[in-house]
């Protein structure tokens, strides 16, 4: 018995001795911050907030004026012209739904429901990857983004090694595959096409969250495309797209022009404007610039790459289960609230006499279930893309009433 005890004690000491270096490295890593960003005072951050908001207001006004002028010019030859706005939500791998839906929509022949050329396209998170192809709008572009999502399982995020949970890491997981896809896809050739398309007054907006300021930031992707053409470096486009999809903690945030940006879904799952100030709306601006012209109908097409309402399921009382479920519920319900707000703005526009706004939206059907569980699963992403194509080809898929 004593011999067994001595053997146990020796083996325990050997085990502790072997683990001690690992523990030291672990603790050193835990309490070491690598490459910390310079701290700014609250006064400096408030001043930066004022500059950012002024810059955003000036830029938004200029873009809105440009779009109004372009629409007014088109109205000269097409008196019944409407203004199409495409809004693409977040949803991770479920962006396969939106990609498939847009492709299927191209087969609709009814002129009132056919897929139009959009004057404005907005994207949040996974919607940010789809938005540039919808903005360009050729059949080949829609086919390309559908193919990308059908093959996106090969770019699935991975945990950041065995010690992924260490607090000095920028995130729990790495987006190496997604980053490679973005860098390969959004090259200088695509930048040239985006810049050319924007020259007509159309807008392509990518929403991200400024973590320092705690506010929304709308990136004009054509500006980044133009910068890429001038410098020969498309990295600014890549940073914007990856920032919009960088779920805090899970994926690495992106520092752009001194500010730290993360997933646009934190601010809202759909980006549709939302200002109640008359001077900041399309109709108000159009009326001010062209008081004697009828205001074209503004038509929102909203594609939600999630279920409209989180499906009921049994949640276990452990943090991974409650955390993921909480994010799911928060996102879906906030999206529905935003949709109701958009419908309210449409009614307000008509009451003011600032033109008619129509809202049409679609989400993943409550009846659809993935054939295989998990994230970035090829079979499930293909099935969802197929479901999107089927619904996109059917004009009855669009919902006309608020949720």
* Least confident stretch, 47-56, 95-104, 307-316: 47-56
Q: Which of 184-188, 324-328, 351-355, 358-362 has the lowest mean pLDDT?
A: 324-328
CA gap 128, 88 in Å, rounded: 7
Cα–chain-centroid distance for residue 144?
Answer: 18
Nearest partner of 118 among 260, 259, 264, 301, judged by Cα: 301
Which candidate, 133, 101, 158, places its Cα nearest to that of 360? 101
Q: Is the pLDDT of residue 20 over 60?
A: no
pTM of the complete model: 0.88
Residue among 105, 35, 8, 86 nearest 300 (CA): 86
Q: What integer pLDDT is reported at residue 63 of this predicted model?
A: 85
Is residue 248's pLDDT more than 50?
Answer: yes
How far is residue 148's CA from residue 161's CA, in Å, rounded to a whole number? 26
Q: Residue 25 has what pLDDT?
A: 46
Give the model confidence (pLDDT) of 344-383 as tens digits.
999 999 999 999 999 999 999 999 999 998 888 999 999 9
Backbone angles phi, psi at 144, to 5 degrees: -65, -45
* Mean pLDDT across the chain: 87
- Give the whole-angstrom CA distance, residue 44 versus residue 375: 41
Rounded to 5 degrees, φ, ψ at 31 are: -105, 15
Torsion sign across C-alpha atoms 123, 324, 339, 393: positive
Confidence of residue 36 (pLDDT cuts 50, 70, 90): confident
Q: What are phi and psi of 188, to 5 degrees?
A: -65, -30
Residue with tokens 């050329």: 117
Structure-token pair, residue 232: 């020969």
Residues in contact with 175: Cβ distance below 8 Å, sequence separation at least 6, in sequence order: 157, 242, 245, 246, 251, 252
> Residue 206 and residue 187: Cα distance in Å, rounded?
17
303 strand-pairing partners = 88, 362
Q: How many percent of the chain have pLDDT more than 70?
A: 86
| Least confident span in 66-80, 115-129, 203-217 | 66-80
**Strands 203-210 and 259-263, how do they pair?**
antiparallel
């Amino acid at each position: 018995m004593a011999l067994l005890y001595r053997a146990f004690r020796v083996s325990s000491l050997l085990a502790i001795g072997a683990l001690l270096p690992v523990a030291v490295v672990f603790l050193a890593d835990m309490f070491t911050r690598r490459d910390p960003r310079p701290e700014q005072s609250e006064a400096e951050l408030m001043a930066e907030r004022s500059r950012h908001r002024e810059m955003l207001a000036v830029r938004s006004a200029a873009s809105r004026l440009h779009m109004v002028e372009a629409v007014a010019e088109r109205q000269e030859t097409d008196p019944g012209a409407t203004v199409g706005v495409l809004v693409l939500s977040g949803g991770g791998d479920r962006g396969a739904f939106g990609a498939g839906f847009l492709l299927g929509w191209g087969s609709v022949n009814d002129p009132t429901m056919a897929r139009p050329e959009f004057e404005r396209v907005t994207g949040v998170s996974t919607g940010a990857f789809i938005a540039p192809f919808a903005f360009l709008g050729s059949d080949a572009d829609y086919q390309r983004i559908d193919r990308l999502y059908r093959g996106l399982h090969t770019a699935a995020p991975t945990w950041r090694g065995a010690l992924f949970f260490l607090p000095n890491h920028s995130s729990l997981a790495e987006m190496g595959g997604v980053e490679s896809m973005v860098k390969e896809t959004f090259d200088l050739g695509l930048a040239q096409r985006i810049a050319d398309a924007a020259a007509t007054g159309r807008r392509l907006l990518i929403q991200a969250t400024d973590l320092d300021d705690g506010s929304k930031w709308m990136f004009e992707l054509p500006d980044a495309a133009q910068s890429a053409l001038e410098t020969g470096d498309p990295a600014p486009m890549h940073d914007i797209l990856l920032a919009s999809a960088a779920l805090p903690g899970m994926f690495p945030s992106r520092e752009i022009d001194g500010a730290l940006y993360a997933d646009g879904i934190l601010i809202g799952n759909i980006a549709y404007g939302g200002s109640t100030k008359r001077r900041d709306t399309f109709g108000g601006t159009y009326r001010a610039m062209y008081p004697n012209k009828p205001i074209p109908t503004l038509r929102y097409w909203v594609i939600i790459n999630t279920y409209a309402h989180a499906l009921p399921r049994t949640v276990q009382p452990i943090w991974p289960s409650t955390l993921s479920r909480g994010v799911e519920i928060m996102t879906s319900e906030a999206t529905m609230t935003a949709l109701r707000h958009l419908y309210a703005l449409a009614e307000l526009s008509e009451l003011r006499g600032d033109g008619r706004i129509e809202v049409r939206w679609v989400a993943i059907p409550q009846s659809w279930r993935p054939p295989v569980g998990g994230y970035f699963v090829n079979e499930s992403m293909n099935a969802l893309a197929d479901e999107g194509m089927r619904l996109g080809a059917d004009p009855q898929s669009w919902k006309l009433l608020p949720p």
